[in-house]
Amino acid sequence: MTRPDPAFLDVRPILAAGGEPFDDILRAVAALAPGQALRLVASFKPVPLFAALARKGFVHSERPLTGDDWEVLFTPAATVPSEEPATAPAAGDAQAWPAPARALDNRGLSPPEPMVRILETLATMAAGEVLEALNDRDPIFLYPELAKRGHAHRTEPRIVAEGGKAFQILILAGGAAAVSS
């Protein structure tokens, strides 16, 4: 049995307009015929998407295009792994967390730079310290990475006087292990 031609989705216009294409990608995946692949074009290498779609049973192959653009082919794997939760369990009450030891303002940055900056900063922090980050978008691809690294997080939309709406992310380095003692 031959597989149908891959569906095609170009998310560059969504990203250029400051939007978050994750919901569009999930809709495209949900609309795939059995065995059908998705060919995705983005203005950056969508590394966080690899794990998200792997949990939905897809393997990927990627290739650079011109400039910073990338094409990724997501193909259904032979077996579909079980679905994992998208976010780490909260470690205690965020109100009981210490004041942020570090702060990052990621507003105005294009994906995946905010996630990269957050993960690099967390790698330099001690367990139990809190990182506060402001992002333009809800960092949905960041949450599985935080869970894998054992960090707890809280995210809230905030109105920021100097720039309108932002997402405030508080991340407890070391996650539950840091607050269980």
Q: How many domains does the chain have?
A: 2
Q: Are 74 and 58 in contact (CB under 8 A)?
A: yes
Tell me: do 68 and 129 sit in the same domain: no
Q: Are 67 and 105 in the same domain?
A: no
pLDDT (tens, 9 = 90+) of the chain, 181 residues, equals 566 889 999 999 998 998 888 889 989 999 988 889 999 999 988 887 887 888 788 888 888 898 889 999 988 876 333 333 333 334 445 556 788 889 999 988 988 899 999 999 998 888 888 899 999 888 888 888 888 888 888 887 776 656 567 888 999 988 543 332 2
Find, among 60, 2, 63, the residue nearest to 35 by Cα: 2
Q: Is the domain of 52 the same as that of 113? A: no
Whole-prediction pTM value? 0.49
| Coil/strand/helix, residue 36 | coil
Q: Which of 123, 127, 135 is nearest to 165 (CA)?
A: 135
Range of the domain at 141: 94-179
